[in-house]
Structure 1
Amino acid sequence: MTGMTRRTALSTLGKLGTVGALAGSPFLMSSAWAQATTLKISHQFPGGTLTEGDFRDRLTRMFAAEVEKRSKGALKFAIYPGSSLMKTNAQFSAMRKGALDLSLVPLSYAGGEVPEVNIGLMPGLVTSYEQGYSWKNAEVGKELARILYDKGIVVVSWIWQAGGVASRTKPVVEPEDAKGMKIRGGSREMDLILKAAGAAVVSLPSNEIYAAMQTGAMDAALTSSTSLISFRLEEVSKALTTGRGNAYWFMFEPLMMSRAVFDKLPKDQQATILAVGADMETFALKAAQEDDAQVAAVYQKSGAKVVDLNAATVKRWQAIARTTAWKDYGEKNENCAKLLKLAEKTL
């Protein structure tokens, strides 16, 4: 096939958009297949390398390298950190439509689109990593995965992160400390307990916290230990409440894949993706716990006052959550009520 003929064939294929146009050309078939096997992974976190930087970025790179290795190069990946491919809040919807292949994103960000997913950041419902990671094989995890699958999403890696509060002023420890402050909770349900405690809530993704705190548009923010470090919030904070030891803020932040894209892959490639995704969970747990400890040192070094939560304080926040966030969520629909009931079994 000459260069001119090849260009003409490509042009014709683009206009027709039919499988039939591929059938007559081995060249076109191989080219199209090669393009289809390069999958895009998007996330909002700072970019790094396999060994350095935000562990969530590292995890996507480790996942990509291992899947490529096990698939013998049949699957390749392009990684787009820092919301460089698309806006943070557009990722979940794009995966549902098949416009984005994979993303590592806080599940609760999609709560406006799929109310059920807000269980992924429900204050006081998960209070330890052991409990959070038990969801995967428990009834609540299986039901959540089923709901997501029905909505066009495949959970590849189950990732949980504890979080704390960075503040421009005083430490936010007890519920009464939040009164009169402008605080970012991270989900509708977190916002409900903050409002009950007397705070004004601010809603934005974690990669926008720094600017909001720097300008004074926000006084404090709850986010994961890793984000507290990666987004350099110690530069705009005078106090930190850590998530180490005890926490009422646990976020489900999975690596997910578009079902539309996943279903088009051969069974062996699907199996490889899920197997590698499961293998990444051990790394994610260890890295998140390391960041829970490291964040305290980072903030102390910057001169911030660092405090930890005790079990009694967590229970006070949990008591508020039961009558506000949990109640509100459980009344959303039958799926939410069922998920909440199943999640309470893991407490």
Structure 2
Amino acid sequence: MTQFSRRHALRALSLAPALSLVHPLLAQAQGVTLKISHQFPGGTLEEGDFRDRLCRMFAAEVQKRSNGGLKFEIYPGSSLMKTNAQFSAMRKGALDLSLVPLSYAGGEVPEVNIGLMPGLVPSYETGAAWKNAEVGKELNRLLLDKGIVLVSWIWQAGGVASRTKAVVEPDDVKGMKIRGGSREVDLMLKAAGAAVVSLPSNEIYAAMQTGAMEAALTSSTSLISFRLEEVSKFLTSGRGQSYWYMFEPLMISKAVFDRLTKEQQNIIMTVGAELEAFAIKAAKQDDLTVASVYEKKGAKVADMNAATVKRWQAIARTTAWKDYADKNENCAKLLKLAEKLL
């Protein structure tokens, strides 16, 4: 080996440690790719379930504002992992982001069942007010402690799809096999005489098709997206009045969030907040659309009025609300703060 080539070889070896330190930075410059998981049917930016669309809009806008520093892969239809595993996976940093009904994690964190407490949120306006009210700040603090960062606050009204008879008043559910969507809704339904069935919204169709379940409460968007009109003869819509409002935010793992730069964190939170207006508009539109979808299939459509909602709320106060408040001090505090907005 010549002196020249030896000198270059020694120089390359001396630079090797420095190059190995630079490599992760080069990888970061090429962009960080985060995974977004949800249980809803996949679509496009312009068409499909608005919750999937919101995830795609979020991904596109964050990538644009971060100049490609943040990129996303979206996994609809629980194609990345099972629906009920998403919250826990985010807490552990095994999943980056998810848009999932918060109450699905009630078995793991009892406090989050407030996200589907019958009669507690009577309108989209009340739900939107939670974010900056005391109840929202307390819920945000609690979730941060559990390893979750709330990115977009999304509320949805819901209704009831049934294959046997209309479900409007409390007396209508007596003896029915019905899905409520959360422990708290189930408690209210049980008190009214129903036999409750617990499963995620993406499993409702099969259960109703086989007759394992007669009716289900779920969001207006899910009533459409999961094609439940194909297995239903009756619909009680959530347009105008409803005792069923579900909180299903877009969330990011705090462990993942903390690894991002301050600028990237700000972009994520800013875009998430901006998309909340789209979510409310889309949810309200689906409350109207669901009725026409079911009518076209020949289903009989009914609506709730204020008196009906109050009758359900009265049952919820003595069952679901009481049970929730008795869980622990955090639950009691959250319920009390939420009631201030009624």
TM-score > 0.5, shorter chain as reference: yes
1:118-133 residue pairs with structure 2 within 5 A? 118-133=113-128
> Contact 1:22–1:28 at 8 Å: present in 2 too?
no
Deviation at 1:190, TM superposition (A): 0.3
> Contact 1:103–1:255 at 8 Å: present in 2 too?
yes
Residue-pair matches, total: 327
Is 2:197 aligned against 1:202? Answer: yes
TM-score, normalised with respect to structure 1:
0.92
1:1-347 residue pairs with structure 2 within 5 A? 24-25=19-20, 28-30=23-25, 32-33=27-28, 37-347=32-342
CA distance, structure 2, for counterparts of residue 60 and residue 110 of structure 1: 20
CA distance, structure 1, for counterparts of residue 321 and residue 18 of structure 2: 55
Structure 1 counterpart of 2:153, one-letter code = W
Change (3 A) 1:83 1:34: farther
CA distance, structure 2, for counterparts of residue 22 and residue 106 of structure 1: 47
CA distance, structure 2, for counterparts of residue 61 and residue 76 of structure 1: 11
Structure 2 counterpart of 1:267, one-letter code = K
CA distance, structure 2, for counterparts of residue 23 and residue 120 of structure 1: 50
TM-score, normalised with respect to structure 2:
0.94
| Greater radius of gyration (CA) | 2
Deviations 1:91-137 (A, max 9, x none): 00000000000000000000000000000000000010000110000
Q: Secondary structure at the match of 2:156?
A: strand
CA distance, structure 1, for counterparts of residue 81 and residue 323 of structure 2: 31
Percent of pairs with identical residues: 81
> Contact 1:196–1:320 at 8 Å: present in 2 too?
yes
Change (3 A) 1:45 1:94: same
Runs of 4+ in 1 over 6 A off after TM superposition: none
CA distance, structure 1, for counterparts of residue 215 and residue 26 of structure 2: 51
More off after superposition, 240-249 vs 31-40: 31-40
Deviation at 1:25, TM superposition (A): 1.7
Structure 1 counterpart of 2:259, one-letter code = K
> Contact 1:243–1:308 at 8 Å: present in 2 too?
yes
CA distance, structure 1, for counterparts of residue 104 and residue 32 of structure 2: 28
Deviation at 1:28, TM superposition (A): 3.4
> Contact 1:91–1:100 at 8 Å: present in 2 too?
yes
CA distance, structure 1, for counterparts of residue 22 and residue 117 of structure 2: 52
Structure 2 counterpart of 1:308, one-letter code = D
Structure 2 gap ranges (5+): 1-15
Deviation at 1:31, TM superposition (A): 5.8
